Amino acid sequence: MLKIVIALASSIIIISFYSFFNIRISIESTLQGVNSLIVLQSIILGIYSVSLSIIAALHDTTLIKKLLRPNSVSRNEIQNINNSAFLTIIISLSSLIIFLFFFEIIIKYRILVLLFQFIIPFCIMLSLLYIYDFFKIINAVLFKYSDHE
CB neighbour burial string for 40-59, b if at least 16 within 10 angstroms, e if fewer: ebeebbeebeeeeeebeeee
Q: How many domains does the chain have?
A: 1
pLDDT in tens, 28-78: 777 777 788 888 888 888 888 888 887 777 777 777 777 777 877 777 888
Q: What is the pTM of this model?
A: 0.73
Is the pLDDT higher at 144 or at 112? 112
Q: Would you place residue 23 in the very low, low, confident or very high pLDDT band (cuts 50, 70, 90)?
A: low
Mean pLDDT of 104-114: 82
- Dist CA 5 CA 29 (whole Å): 29
Q: Which domain holds residue 22?
A: 2-145
pLDDT in tens, 71-106: 777 778 888 888 888 888 888 888 888 888 888 888
Is the pLDDT higher at 14 or at 131? 131
